[in-house]
Amino acid sequence: MTDLDVWTAMATARAIRRYTDEPVDDATLGRCLEAATWAPSGGNWQSWRFVVLRSPEQREVVARAAAISLEIIEPLYSMSRPDPDDGSRIARSHRATYEFHDRAGEFTSVLFTTKHYDSASELLLGGSVYPAMQNFLLAARAQGLGACLTSWASYGEDLMRSSIGVPDDWLMAGHVVVGWPRGHHGPLRRRPVGDVTYLDRWGEPATPIVGPAS
C-alpha cells in the first residue's frame, strides 16, 4: 500500500482506458472497496452495495453491455474508428475508447448500487453513493491502479441487472473498470476554478477566493 498525498491523488486521478493484461489482485481491489465505505452518506445510512464483476460469465455480460453502449455513443460523439495512420489527438482518444469497449470482456469491474428510497429524489440518492465511488477512484490512483467510469450499466442496465440479480429497489448508480495502466497518463483537462465558482449570487465572480474567471 503506497502513501500518496491527497492533493496529488485528486489532481492525477485521471480516467484510464488502456490497460495491461496483468490481473488486479484481491488486496489492491479490497483497499479500494474499503476506502469506498469511508465516504459520507445521508444519515450515515451507507445504503450502498458494491458488486465486483470478474467471473467469465459476468465479464461476458459486461462485454455485451459495452457493445450496446458503443452503438449508442458513436453517433452521440460523432465517433468512428480512426484510420491507423491518424496520429491526431482526437484519433488517439477515439482509438483508446474503441480499445476500451472492444476489451470490455477482459476487465475486472465494480458496479456501484444504492437503495432506492422514496424519501429522497434520485439526485439526492446519488449524493449517498457517488462520494463512495470517488473514494474508490482515489484509492485506485493511490495504488497506481487505473480506473474508468463507464456508461455500460446505464445503456446495458436491463442486461446487467438481470444477470447480476440486482433487486428492483436498488439503483445502479455507476460502473467502474479497473486495471493496471498501459502507457503514460496525460494531465487533467479542467476549466479554471474561477470559471465555475460564484460568490453569494449566481454569476458573481469569486475572485478573492479562486482568482478571476478566464
CB atoms within 10 A of CB 151: 17
Which region, judged by CB under 8 A, interacts with a copy of itself, from 30-38, 79-87, 94-102, 178-186?
30-38
Interface with a copy of itself includes 5 (CB under 8 A)? yes
Q: How far apart are CA 151 and CA 171, in angstroms?
A: 14
Q: How many residues bind a copy of itself (CB under 8 A)?
A: 86
Closest to a copy of itself by CB, 83 vs 212, is 212
Q: How far apart are CA 67 and CA 123, in angstroms?
A: 27
Nearer to a copy of itself, 62 or 95 (CB): 62
Name the nearest CA neighbour of 147 among 3, 7, 13, 6.
13
Select 10 or 96, whichever has its Cβ closest to a copy of itself.
10
The Cα 43–Cα 116 span in angstroms is: 15
Q: How far is the CB of 46 from a copy of itself (least distance, A)?
A: 5
134 close to 37: Cβ distance less than 8 angstroms: no
Out of 16, 17, 19, 51, the residue judged to bind a copy of itself by CB under 8 A: 51
From the CB of 203, what's the least distance to a copy of itself, in Å?
7
Q: Give the position of cell 476487465.
A: 107
The answer to whether residue 89 forms part of the interface with a copy of itself (CB under 8 A) is: no
